[in-house]
Structure 1
């Protein structure tokens, strides 16, 4: 991992989301959670955009180009646009992704073959699972392009973090600023936890200052 990815992986999505909030930036991809091998993942986005079959001519099976060019430090982002009636990711793709060493895969819709994802050790985040195949139902429109993804825009190379609280995406050109603010927020919350464990009252620890900690000056 690069230094930037190491810094990102050391944070949680809540601190990063708070940092994005403090800058007035969207970033939380809503409605997604770990469905296989739920561990924290951090990486740069490699995107895929899916559409209904028949709306475009697909040159290949969905997600295969992204898998073939993926590797350590990358997270495959599949823009399935909230579809839950058909899978946008499956078991053979999971095997390929693990073989190439990806950090994980995140799909804003349904996936399938979760038993295989667990078996292969792939960390997979999605909205839900369904056994229905993508074949003849959805196809790849394009890959390595900007995508609308669960309420945020994700561009290739943007930074992605996922954990038990959800998924956030950070524009690559803002990553240093977001990391600095998120690290300050995390440090402040660690100090608050220390005070709680020492027996200070919650009213004191979570004083009015807590309500303003997303202010940029307060979070630095």
Structure 2
């Protein structure tokens, strides 16, 4: 058996990938995706609870309106994803931008915290935000709302491709979120995106060192900065 076929090797590789992602920030990753011509930044989402950086693999949940004839999972939304998730996972809820009803709540937050989930991202509103804060569970969403999902929204499926603020997200894609926003990285491009983001972050650290050393801002942020995302300049 070669190393790539060994489950333990794959787990170690996945852990190192997430560790590399966690050492970056959302801006550097977004810049790397820009340099590669890939979408990634999910606009309009912000930290509502435990506002710290999170990084991990996407475990997706797709929600639809609870309408007559709607095909749905037949269980409360998000429960299967919570039960299947743990450290290294970020639960990503495709609530399709709804802000009049919650797509996530306090009992789900308790389950996610119990299982060691890195955090939760909801494209739309969520509720029981105070409970997520008390649990110290990072929760990124569009806004808080007190209105229950019961009788209004149901889970169509979980661990399926979804759309988050016009960004396609597949199960296992990478997620990073911090005070600047939420960014998704296609798993198929993870190594190249991370390498590009690491190079960008290194260049910016060097620039900050020049600022601290007293160099004029115009010299630090020269033409090189404007072209930093060019394909040849980003790597």
TM-score interval, normalised by the smaller of the two chains: over 0.9
* Pair 1:43 & 2:56 matched: yes
Number of the residue aligned with 1:177:
192
Task: Answer yes or no: is 1:9 the counterpart of 2:18.
Answer: no
Partner of 1:164: 179
Name the structure 1 match of 2:145: 130
Q: How does 1:113-128 map to 2 (within 5 A)?
A: 113-128=128-143
- How far, CA to CA, are the matches of 1:116 and 1:207 in structure 2? 47
CA RMSD of aligned residues (A): 0.9
Q: Which runs of 5+ in 1 are unaligned?
A: none
For 1:28 and 1:161, the matched residues in 2 are separated by: 10
Q: Deviations over 1:198-217 (max 9, x none)?
A: 11111111111111000121
After superposition, the C-alpha distances for 1:172-211 in whole angstroms (9 at most, x for unaligned) are 0100000000000000000000101111111111111111
* Whole-angstrom CA distance in 2 between matches of 1:196 and 1:112: 43
Distance in structure 2 (CA, Å) of the matches to 1:197 and 1:216: 28
Q: Deviations over 1:91-129 (max 9, x none)?
A: 000000001100000001000001111111211000000
Residues 139-154 of structure 1 correspond to what in structure 2 (within 5 A)?
Answer: 139-154=154-169
Whether 1:52 aligns to 2:51 is no
**Over residues 41-83 of structure 1, what are the superposed CA-to-partner deviations in whole Å (9 max), with x where a residue is unaligned?**
0000000000000133441000000001010000000000110
TM-score by length of 2: 0.92
Alpha carbons of 1:57 and 1:190: their partners in 2 closer, same or farther (altered >3 Å)? closer
How does the TM-score come out when normalised to structure 1?
Answer: 0.98
For the Cα contact (< 8 Å) 1:86–1:137, is it kept in 2? yes
1: distance between equivalents of 2:131 and 2:98? 21
Query: Counterpart in 1 of 2:6?
Result: none
Aligned partners of 2:115, 2:27: CA distance in 1, in Å? 29
1:28–1:151: 8 Å Cα contact kept in structure 2?
A: no
Moved over 2 A (4+): 55-58
**Distance across 1 between alignment mates of 2:166 and 2:216:** 38
SS of 1:162's equivalent in the other structure is strand
Paired residue for 2:31?
18
Structure 2 residue ranges without an equivalent (≥5): 1-13
Partner of 1:101: 116
